Amino acid sequence: MTKALTTRAGTTSATDLPYMPLCAVFRRFLKRKGLKFTHERAVILDAVLAREGVFDAEELSDEIKAGGRRVSKATVYRTLKHLVEAQIVEEVLIDSRQVHFQQSFGRDPKGHLACLETNQIVEFPTKQLDEMAEKICREYGFDFISHRFVIYGVSPQARKLEQDSTQEH
């Protein structure tokens, strides 16, 4: 999507190269559902893959616009739904203002450490937690699907900011 690349062996197009596996995953998902891989969906997937960490629909839309490409917000919302269903992206519920997303394909589940002062979000690995979640599910007779673990706190940076402004008094 971003720049032209020489096609090797004439089998893959330039469009595929920056994210070959996920693009393929998405195309396969769409085909299975009788849906189409459109230019807009490619642009959105591209933007998702370019993102690090957590984002919301608005941010994604803005980044697409900033990149000089144009996709309507309605399409961004519609496509994010498909990406979630394709398990390429997952919803992350950090606060109640709006839905947040993050790329999830092939990643281990992560927990989120959110700073209530600065809205900074740090990810941490959740090995032990994953097992615990499945065990709890079993105890209650549930089939496990996924889990979300969010810890709220105050980051060192926020604490420092606060100290600085107190000293100014």
Partner DNA sequence: CTTGCTGCAAAAGTTTTGCACACGT
Partner DNA sequence: ACGTGTGCAAAACTTTTGCAGCAAG
Distance CA 18, CA 12 (A): 11
Least CB distance from residue 50 to DNA, whole Å? 18
The span from the CA of 161 to the CA of 48, in Å, is 32
> In the complex, what is the shortest distance from the CB of residue 92 to DNA, in angstroms, rounded to a whole number?
11
Is residue 164 involved in binding a copy of itself (CB under 8 A)? no
Task: Say which entry of DNA, a copy of itself, none residue 2 contacts (CB below 5 to 8 A, set by partner kind).
Answer: none
Beta carbon nearer to a copy of itself, 23 or 114? 114
109, two tokens: 């589940």
Q: For helices 57-66 and 39-50, what crossing angle results, to 10°?
A: 100
161 binds a copy of itself (CB under 8 A): no
Query: Which two tokens mark 168?
Result: 């100014």
Dihedrals φ, ψ of 10, to 5°? Answer: 65, 15
Enumerate binding residues for a copy of itself (CB under 8 A): 91, 93-96, 98-99, 111, 113, 115-116, 122, 124, 128-129, 132-133, 136-137, 139-156, 159
